[in-house]
Amino acid sequence: MREIYLDNAATTRTLPAACETAAKVMLQDFGNPSSLHHKGFEAEQYIRDTRKAIAASIKCTEDEIVFTSGGTESNNMALFGAAEARKRNGKHIITTRIEHASVYQPILRLEELGYEVTFLPVDAYGHVSAEELTKALRDDTIVVSVMAVNNEIGAIEPIAELAALVHARNPKAVFHTDAIQAYGKIPMFPSRMGVDLMSVSGHKLHAPKGSGFLYVKKGLAIRPLIYGGGQEKDRRSGTENVPAIAGLGEAVRYWFADAAEYRERMYRSKELFLKGVSMVPGAVVNGVPNDLRETAPHIASVSFAGVRAEVLLHALAEKGIYTSSGSACSSNHPAISGTLKAIGVADNLLDSTLRFSFDENTSEEEIAETVSALAELVPVLGKFRRS
């Protein structure tokens, strides 16, 4: 049975070149990058090459990149690190109602530690308004965290506008963005956008799992989460995961050689899918304004009235079609999506929603086959819905 993978927002297939390079590092160039001999220098060169590729992709300097184990660590490092370094200036944090768990949970922990948190509402398309942020900003605000692209509905936030507001109102406050679903999918240039901290995960862009980085604006002080040997200029101790970092470098070079073309391919897939799925009885597309380009190219959220998401998910999987009912990271603690509630999705649709996410290789045939499967399954499964 042929497989159709439409869960790329959860993870992507690792690039073959990334696998080959990671294997080469593990088997041949396996030195510790801190070692002062040839094998160490070989390993260190992979780190330098990847740092250079990432810096070029976001138009920053190489020393502004800190390698991490992925998006969750990057978000935790940004939030705890920035808050702890600024607690003498205040203990007020601002974020949104639609953040990923790797932002939301650390902020709840900071709240337990005595910080005060303001959660900004969003509109029906998942957008944070400048007016709401302006009302929330205070003299004691020290951290503002707004995701660049929502992981469930693909909403693109006005990051540059929001960052400018923060810095104009309170120059001492730090602006962080979770760019895990944004990096490579939309242009992200943190220094030009006024972003102080930006989190990225490698496995959303064909790099190995366990790879990622945090952009830290030059001169910005954050407290490290991990202490030890002083790697990454004392910002993240521990021997670097050179195989994963080397694989990340391969993925970054691959993607950004043709990023504009890949975005166009994904937008075409999304447009074709939404056009087809809108004809399925009971289907409701979530969070998409009239202009599709106001959303990320790779994420589509659709509710199917009268059908439980979990049931439809398994029915599609039996046909070899893989999608998700929301964030993969939240599947360990299933609950009604805070994002869907925040944008005003009807109560009867909250547990009837699937996320479909594409990559640059998703074909028209795969889209057509998925739409056909939905058109077949949804009416049948709706008949067996328990009240």
Residues with a known catalytic role: 329
Tokens representing residue 36 in the block: 């002062």
DSSP, residue by residue, 110-161:
HHHTT-EEEEEP--TTSPPPHHHHHHH--TTEEEEE--SB-TTT-BBP-HHH
Q: Which residues of 47-73 are buried (b: 16+ CB within 10 A; e: fewer)?
A: bebbbebbbebbebeeebbbbbbbbbb
358/271 Cα distance (integer angstroms) = 11
> Angle at Cα 330 formed by Cα 175 and Cα 274, nearest 5°?
85
CB atoms within 10 A of CB 362: 24
172: amino acid identity, one letter: K
Q: Is 182 buried (19+), middle (13-18) or exposed (0-12) by CB count in 10 A? A: buried
In a 13 Å sphere around the CA of 3, the CA atoms on its Cβ side amount to 6
Torsion 271-275-276-282 (CA) sign: positive
Residue 365 has what DSSP assignment?
Answer: H
Asked if 203 and 30 touch (Cβ cutoff 8 Å), the reply is no
